[in-house]
Amino acid sequence: MNLEIPNKIKPLINNAHQVALSVFRPISRKYDRAEHEYPKELDTLSSVLDGMNEGDPDSGAGAAQTGKGRGKEDDGSVKNGANMTTCLGSLELAYGDVALLLSMPRQGLGNAAIAAVANDEQLERFGDKWAAMAITEPGTGSDSAAIRTTARDEGDHYVLNGEKIYVTSGARADCIVVWATLDPKMGRNAIKSFVVEWGTEGMELARLEKKLGIRASDTAAITFNECKVPKDNLLGDPEINPEKGFAGVMETFDNTRPLVACFALGCARASLERTQELLEESIEYDYDKPVDNASAVEAELYRMEAELEASYWLTVKSAWMADNRQPNSKEASICKAKSARVGNWITLRCVELAGSIGYNEDELLEKWSRDSKILDIFEGTQQIQQLIIARRLLGKSSKELK
C-alpha cells in the first residue's frame, strides 16, 4: 500500500501548475467578462502542450489521453498510467481556470470518446481534431437513453436530424461526436455516436448560451437537418446489439467522470488556498487543536480541507483502478459525486468567509463559486451519480430504482 503520488508524475503536475498560474490566471477575469470571445492565448499554449505530450505520451494532460491503456500489454505489474497523469494534470489546470481548461483545443470530451472507442482508421482521421460531445437535447439530459435525434441508414451514409444543446466548445471544435438513434423504437441499444465535422451540410450553429459561470467556455446549440454523415464516421459497432450497445457508449464516462472530479478539485483548491491567504492574520492554522477546540472559522477550514483531501484521494483511486484495468464505474461515480458537491460547497463557503471581499470582482472567489456549480451538473448530475452508485450497491435495475 502506498498513497503517495509517484515522483515520475511530479514534473507533469508542476508544468500544468505553471500553466495555470502564468497562462490561465492572468486572463481568467478577462474571459469571464468577455463571454463568447475566443481566448486566443490558448492556441499558443496548446502547441506548447503538444510538444510536451509528444515527448512523453504517457503524461499528457488532456481528455484525449484517458482510456484503459489501449494496446499495451498487461504484465500484471502495478501501473500509474495515463488516467492518473491526465487527472492530476487537469486538476492543476483547473486550479488555474476550469473554463479555460474546457476551452483547450483538442482536449474536448469528444476526444475522450474517440480515444475510448474509435478504430485505428478513425483514430488516424480524427486523432488530431478537436472534438466536442453532443448528447443533451432540449427534451432530455439526464435520461440520455431518451434522445430523439435520429440517424437514418442510407447505404453509404447516415442522415442525421435533430437538435443538440449545451455542447461544450461546440462552435470552436473541428467536429462533434453526436449521439443519435438508428431507430427510436428500439430503445437505448439503437443509440450510436457519430463524428460530424463542421462544414457538413445540414449542420448549423443555433446559438451560444449565456451562463452563470465557466463563461470562457462556449456552450453551443447545434441543429442537424438532413445532415449526411459518412458511414465510416460511426464510432463502435454499427449493429443494434441488445447485449452491449448502450453500456458500451456509457463506458466512456468511467474515464471522464474522474476528470470532471479533478476540475472540481482544482477549482475548490484555488478557493480554499486563496481564502486561507486572506484569513492568514485571523487564524491559527497548524493542525494542532482538535477541530472542536478551534475557532469557528478554523474548524470550517479544517473541514473543507479534509473533505477536499478525501475527494482527491478517491479520485486518484478511481484513476488508478482504470490504469490497472479494474472495473471502476462505481468508484468513478463516487469520486465525481463527492468531488463535485464538496467543490461547490467549498467555493461558496469561501466567498462567504471572505465577506464582501469575496463577493466582488476584485477577487476570483466569486467566479470560482459560479464555475464550480456546473461540475455537479454535467457528465451526470449529483443525483444521477447517486442513482448509479445505489443501483450497483443494491443490485437494482433502472426499472426498479428509477
Partner 1 sequence: MAKDAVGYALTALNRLAGSGLVDRMGMRRLMERMAYSLTKSGFRVITTTARAFQSSGKLGKAERLKAPGVTRELFDLNITDEQQMIRDSVQSFAEEVLRPRSEPADAEARTSDETRAAALELGLNFFAVPESLGGAATERSPVTTMLVAEDLAHGDMGQAVAILAPMSVANALTRWGNADQQSRYLPAFAEDQPPAASLAVAEPHVLFDPQQLRTTASKSGDQWVLDGEKALVPLAAEAELFLVAAQTPDGPGVFIVEGGTEGLTTSENPPMGVRAGGMRPLQLDSVQVPESNRLSAEDFDYREFVDLGTLAWCSLAVGTGQAVLDYVIPYVNEREAFGEPISHRQSVAFMVANIAMELESMRILTWRAVSRAEKGLPFHRETHLARTLVKDKAMQIGTDGVQLLGGHGYTHEYPVERWYRDMRAMGVMFGGLHL
* Residues marked as catalytic: 379
Q: Which is nearer to ligand FAD, 272 or 375 (CB)?
A: 375
Enclosing H/E stretch for 109:
helix 109-117
Q: Which is nearer to partner 1, 28 or 311 (CB)?
A: 311
Nearest distance, CB of residue 166 and ligand FAD, angstroms: 3
* Degrees, nearest 5: CA angle 277-278-284: 70
All three cell numbers of 93, joined, read: 489546470
Kindly write out the interface string for residues 213-242 of this chain, putting x where it contacts ligand FAD by CB under 6 A and - elsewhere: -x----x-----------------------
Angstrom distances, CA of residue 250 to CA of 7, 143, 188, 254: 33, 12, 11, 8
Residue 99 CB burial class (10 angstroms; 0-12, 13-18, ≥19): buried
Kindly write out the interface string for residues 362-391 of this chain, putting x where it contacts ligand FAD by CB under 6 A and - elsewhere: ------------x--xx--x-xx--x----
Q: Does 168 bind ligand FAD (CB under 6 A)?
A: yes
* Degrees, nearest 5: CA angle 250-256-259: 160
Q: How far apart are CA 149 and CA 163, in angstroms?
A: 7
* Residue 223 neighbours by CB distance under 10 Å: 18
Q: Are 18 and 45 in contact (CB under 8 A)?
A: no
Q: Does 325 bind partner 1 (CB under 8 A)?
A: no
Render the burial of 308-330: b for 16+ CB within 10 Å, e for the rest: beebbebbbbbbbbbbbeeebbb
Binding positions for ligand FAD, 74-103, rule CB under 6 A: none
Q: Does 317 bind partner 1 (CB under 8 A)?
A: yes
Kindly write out the interface string for residues 106-135 of this chain, putting x where it contacts ligand FAD by CB under 6 A and - elsewhere: ---x----------------------xxxx
Contact footprint for partner 1 (CB under 8 A): 1-8, 78-80, 84, 287-293, 302-303, 305-307, 309-311, 313-314, 316-317, 320, 331, 334, 337-338, 383, 386-387, 389-391, 393-396, 400-402
Which residues are near ligand FAD by CB under 6 A? Answer: 109, 132-136, 141-142, 166-168, 211, 214, 219, 374, 377-378, 381, 383-384, 387, 402
